[in-house]
């Protein structure tokens, strides 16, 4: 028995552990955005990613979304369904390959996207400014993490 003592010596410094730090930082960055999206427009992060992808490419399938914006396919599928229910997206069958879905923005979807894009760009500008000194190496580091490993 004896020492139930504190082991004060740092067993492991979570505050210096990169995966933890990145996760917390990423959540911080998302939270402002996503809260605003959710409260003001009823849009989740997954839905936002789907929206952007459709806006960029005009017509996409669930598979495309999965590949392009890192959304597991069931998540992409459900996000698309919610967007359809909200009237922002239409879902159709691809005539050339009837396994594929064709997702496209409605007018409401385009309008929404325009608003969200404005907010996002303003946010990005603020971040760029705030991180000015280290934005370049930060982006290099992220690129490396995304490509390697």
Question: Which residues of the shown chain bind a second copy in the complex (CB under 8 A)?
Answer: 4-8, 10-14, 16-30, 32-33, 45, 49, 52-53, 55-59, 69-70, 104, 113, 117, 120-121, 123-124, 127-128, 130-131, 133-135, 137-142, 144-146, 148-149
- Residue tagged 């064709």 (tokens): 102
Of the ranges 4-12, 98-106, 122-130, 141-149, which one interacts with DNA (CB under 7 A)? Answer: 98-106
63 touches DNA by CB under 7 A: yes
d(CA 71, CA 80): 11
Instruction: Report which DSSP code applies to 27.
Output: H
Rule CB under 7 A: is residue 44 a binding residue for DNA?
yes
The Cα 13–Cα 64 span in angstroms is: 40
Answer for which of 46, 50, 55, 89 binds DNA (CB under 7 A) is 46
Distance CA 32, CA 74 (A): 25
Selected binder of DNA within 5, 6, 19, 99 (CB under 7 A) = 99
Are 87 and 108 a contacting pair, CB within 8 Å?
yes
Per CB under 7 A, does 79 bind DNA? yes
Give the HSE-up count for residue 36: Cα atoms under 13 Å, Cβ half-sphere. Answer: 12
Binding segment toward DNA, per CB under 7 A, in 4-12, 17-25, 76-84, 125-133: 76-84
């Amino acid at each position: 028995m004896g020492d139930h003592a504190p082991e004060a010596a740092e067993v492991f410094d979570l505050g210096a552990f990169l995966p933890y730090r990145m996760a917390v930082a990423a959540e911080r960055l998302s939270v402002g955005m996503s809260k605003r999206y959710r409260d003001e427009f009823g849009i989740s992060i997954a839905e936002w990613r789907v929206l952007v992808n459709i806006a960029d490419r005009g017509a996409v399938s669930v598979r495309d979304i999965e590949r392009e914006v890192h959304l597991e396919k069931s998540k992409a599928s459900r996000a698309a369904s919610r967007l359809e229910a909200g009237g922002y997206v239409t879902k159709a069958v691809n005539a050339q390959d009837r396994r594929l879905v064709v997702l496209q923005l409605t007018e409401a979807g385009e309008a929404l996207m325009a608003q969200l894009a404005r907010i996002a760009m303003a946010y990005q500008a603020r971040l760029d400014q705030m991180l000015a000194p280290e934005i370049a190496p930060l982006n290099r580091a992220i690129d490396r993490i995304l490509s390697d490993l």
